[in-house]
Amino acid sequence: MNVSGSQGELKKKVFEIIDLLEKEHPDAKIALKFSNPLELLIATILAAQCTDERVNQVTRSLFKKYRTAEDYANADLATLEQDIKPTGFYRKKAQRIKEVCRILVEKFNSEVPRSMDELLSLPGVARKTANIVLSNAYGIDEGIIVDTHVFRLAKRLGLTESKTREKIEEDLMKIVPKEKWKRFADLLIFHGRRVCKAKNPQCGICVLKNLCPSRTISNP
């Protein structure tokens, strides 16, 4: 999908997208359940190639059993694997959780760091995870969350021609007002789940169809 229009035109388009999606998905917000930054970090690691609903089912009991970074760092690996098994790829995830929490204990006083650079220093933590933690746990916006839905919709809507999460994030940060970075991602994620699906997007009922160069139906 080719990007058409100047940066100014794209910024105007973004405002229109946000306005329409605010009306369509006023309930848009992070689906993962958490009560502190550590829980959100753990939930985000578990969410890799797993639905948020399944993660929430697992963390309901997991967060009662493991309450601190020390708890995870000192956990028996085999036991932790079984505790998170329903999320898939549980061996790799358990190892990563233990390693991340070991570093939190040793280098960050058992606290989840509040900066992008520090979060990215943790094994397996990329910008998507760091942005999720910073924006939702700390209210800090250093970037735009580019998950699979934002990746797909940004390209379909003609907001970017880039092919990597990092480049798409850079493109979006230039045209989305900083105060809307978190909200823009939340809205696109909800719209991606409910309407603009990877397979069989429901273009006929999409509120963005008049703005979308990827629509597959004719306008009335």
2/110 Cα distance (integer angstroms) = 46
Annotated catalytic, 147? yes
Largest CA distance in the chain: 61
User: How distant, in Å, are the alpha carbons of 65, 83, 93, 167 from that of 62?
Assistant: 5, 7, 14, 35
Tell me the residue type at 157: L
Tell me the residue type at 93: K
Annotated catalytic, 167? no
Catalytic residue among 128, 155, 182, 209: 128
């969350």: which residue's tokens? 145
| Strands annotated E in 72-210 | none
SS3 53: helix
Q: Comparing C-alpha atoms, which of 27, 28, 25 is closest to residue 207?
A: 25
SS3 203: helix
180/17 Cα distance (integer angstroms) = 12
Catalytic residue among 29, 85, 147, 180: 147
Q: Report the catalytic residues.
A: 128, 147
